[in-house]
Amino acid sequence: MTHRTTAAPGAAITWHHLDADDHDHDHGGGATVLGFWIYLMSDALIFASLFAMFGVVSTSYAGGPVPRQIFDLPLVALNTALLLASSITFGQAMPHMEAGRIGPTRLWLAVTGVLGAAFVGVELYEFSHLIAEGAGPQRSAFLSAFFTLVGTHGAHVTVGLIWVVTMLVQIGQHGLTGEIRRRVVCLSMFWHFLDIIWIGVFNFVYLYGVIR
């Protein structure tokens, strides 16, 4: 019983494995991490409404192009691989951060940033290609919903990239202090969250769009 009660407050203070190494300084990470989680959940509701809108108008082509004609699945597969790989490389950075190893933490964060930038680059290429083909957001309700949903996700990834660069600079300036760790933990949650939203995008928008 004493085991449980002593362990419980430590486990409740911070997010997943941060608590194991962080008992030397209390930086109020618990409230921040829970608050950030609530933010992610509210962001999930934004995406839910965008998915709902896309679901409702996904066959309203207005005589314009249908998904089968405009979606390039090998390109989507490449993008999916890039984002999933970036999520995995971020996961590689976390144990190094917990152990206080600045070099490997920054290296894996930088790899994550490069993969994320490649994802945004491929998506921008896809968008410009679609618009050049006459399949821009103003063509049909389906394409408006597509650009809004996928564009909102892309905008989130772009913000995540700015955050990654900020953390690379801040780790260089301040090292892995409690505040910096807390920020990297929030960023990792944000980054994994965006990968989860992408699961919905590649399955419901691209793959289902092509076979229906």
Partner 1 sequence: MSTRPVHLAPEDHGTAREHGSRRRYRIGVALAILLTVIPFWLVMSGALPNAAVTAAIIFALALVQIVVHVVSFLHLDTQSEGGWTLLAFLFTAVIVVLTIGGSVWVMYHLNTNMMPMPDSAPSTMR
Distance CA 135, CA 144 (A): 10
State the number of binding residues for partner 1 (CB under 8 A). Answer: 59
Residue 104 touching partner 1 (CB under 8 A): no
Residues 33-52 that bind partner 1 (CB under 8 A): 33-34, 37-38, 41, 44-45, 48-49, 51-52
**Which of 149, 185, 176, 165 minimizes the C-alpha distance to 19?**
185
62 phi-psi bin (left φ>0, alpha ψ -120 to 50, beta other)? left
What secondary structure does DSSP assign to 122-187, as a single string? HHHHHHHHHHHTT--TTS-HHHHHHHHHHHHHHHHHHHHHHHHHHHHHHHHHH-S-HHHHHHHHHH
Distance CA 84, CA 11 (A): 29
Residue 19 touching partner 1 (CB under 8 A): yes
Residue 29 touching partner 1 (CB under 8 A): no
Residues 175-194 that bind partner 1 (CB under 8 A): 189, 192-193
Distance CA 103, CA 92 (A): 13
Q: What angle do CA 97, 99, 102 make, to 5 degrees?
A: 50
Question: Given the complex with partner 1, which of 46 and 124 has the nearer CB atom?
Answer: 46
Question: Given the complex with partner 1, which of 92 and 170 has the nearer CB atom?
Answer: 92
Tell me which of 26, 28, 95, 172 binds partner 1, using CB under 8 A. 95
Question: Given the complex with partner 1, which of 114 and 204 has the nearer CB atom?
Answer: 204
Tell me which of 28, 60, 100, 129 binds partner 1, using CB under 8 A. 60
Burial (0-12, 13-18, 19+ Cβ within 10 Å), 100:
exposed
Least separation in angstroms between residue 209's CB and partner 1 is 10
Q: In the complex, which residues of this chain contact partner 1 (CB under 8 A)?
A: 2-3, 6-7, 10-12, 15-17, 19-21, 23, 30, 33-34, 37-38, 41, 44-45, 48-49, 51-53, 55-56, 59-62, 73-74, 77, 80-81, 84, 87-88, 91, 95, 98, 189, 192-193, 195-196, 199-200, 202-204, 207-208, 210-212
